[in-house]
Amino acid sequence: MAAAAGMSALCRRLMGSLRLSGARPSLMAAGIPGLTPNLFLKSQAKVELLHQLKFLHTTLSRKGLEEFFDDPVNWGEKSVKSGDAWNIKQLRAKSSEDLHKLWYVLLKEKNMLLTLELESKRQLKPMPSPERLEKVEESMKNIDLVVREREIALRLLQTGHEKPVPGEWRHDFLGRTYWYSYKEWPIPWYLNKKYKKRKFYYLPHVERFIRLRLEQSLRTRARRQSLEKTKQKLLERKFPHLAIKSQSQ
């Protein structure tokens, strides 16, 4: 009896975890925001539990986990051939739906390759064809770029602004000027204690240090320019035709 009770508790926990893993993909596909609450009710668990006891097995459900690994044909190969990464020109011709689908296909491929990379490190073996990862990353970067391009174009048309977040040039308490981009807050600035503590101005005694900083930057620029001049002189000494070319220019 005790053994049966213990077994039933184990079954309940296992079935709970299996149902969770099984249910999530279907929810994602339906695209319903928020979870249906029925899954976690105990009454439903009991009904399914009695039904499932006949087919009890304690191995992990492999539903979907095989996608973390390559095609079994390629297991143990030294190299796997792969085509080129997706070009930006090719991606610009694709609709948003296609790009969305392609992103997730690439993401799953990237997960598979990362698993492979980690496993080869663990086994101290070279990863077969690591350029696949670079191609996948490049394709994903290109998709992001294309979507961002379209977003910027639309924003320029509708608002005339290029950046998604507005900002302005501000000083910090050390007198430095930097681009401050606005952040989203739930309360106005005059009620925001954290924001009011920040100082976007500098006191008069800082002006001396601003001048010193300016002198420092001018000094480094002058040093860099003189270094370039000495390098150019060295080159002209070794290659006299460069001196003639620069003189004619």
Partner 1 sequence: MQGEVWEAQQEERLQRGPLGDREQPHSESLRLSAHPEADLLRGGRAGAGAMRLSAVLAAARLPPGYRHGTWPPDTAAARRRNPPGQRRRRVLVEPIDSEEWKVFQGDTVQVLSGKDAGKQAMVTQVVRARNWVVVEGLNTHYRYIGGTYIASEAPLLLSQITLVDPEDRKPTEVQWRYTEEGERVRVSLRSGRIIPVPLQPRRDGIVPEQWIDGPKDTSVEDAMQKTYVPSLKTFEEEIMDAMDIVETRRAKKSYWY
User: Binding residues for partner 1, per CB under 8 A?
Assistant: 31, 33, 71, 81-84, 86, 90, 92-100, 109, 117, 130-131, 133-134, 137, 140-141, 144, 147, 150-151, 154-155, 157-159, 164-166, 168, 170, 182-190, 195-201, 234-235, 238-239, 242
Between 40 and 200, whose beta carbon lies closer to partner 1? 200
Q: Which two tokens stand for residue 11?
A: 């079954």
**Minimal distance, residue 133 CB to partner 1, in Å:** 6
Q: Which two tokens stand for residue 81?
A: 């051939």
- What SS3 class is residue 198? coil
Q: What is the spatial distance between Cα 179 and Cα 198, in angstroms, rounded to a whole number?
A: 15
**Minimal distance, residue 244 CB to partner 1, in Å:** 13
**Minimal distance, residue 3 CB to partner 1, in Å:** 48
Q: How many residues does the chain have?
A: 249
**Minimal distance, residue 46 CB to partner 1, in Å:** 34
Give strand pairing partners of 179: 169
Between 48 and 117, whose beta carbon lies closer to partner 1? 117
Q: What is the spatial distance between Cα 240 and Cα 245, in angstroms, rounded to a whole number?
A: 9
Between 8 and 74, whose beta carbon lies closer to partner 1? 74
Between 48 and 137, whose beta carbon lies closer to partner 1? 137
Between 19 and 110, whose beta carbon lies closer to partner 1? 110
Taking a C-beta distance cutoff of 8 angstroms, is the pair 58, 14 a contact? yes
**Minimal distance, residue 21 CB to partner 1, in Å:** 22
Q: Which of 114, 25, 120, 131 lies closest to 68 in space, CA to CA? A: 114
**Minimal distance, residue 68 CB to partner 1, in Å:** 15
10 Å Cβ neighbour count for 142? 19
Q: Which two tokens stand for residue 199?
A: 């100082």
Between 14 and 70, whose beta carbon lies closer to partner 1? 70
Q: Which two tokens stand for residue 176?
A: 């430095």
Q: Which of 173, 165, 222, 177 lies closest to 201 in space, CA to CA? A: 173
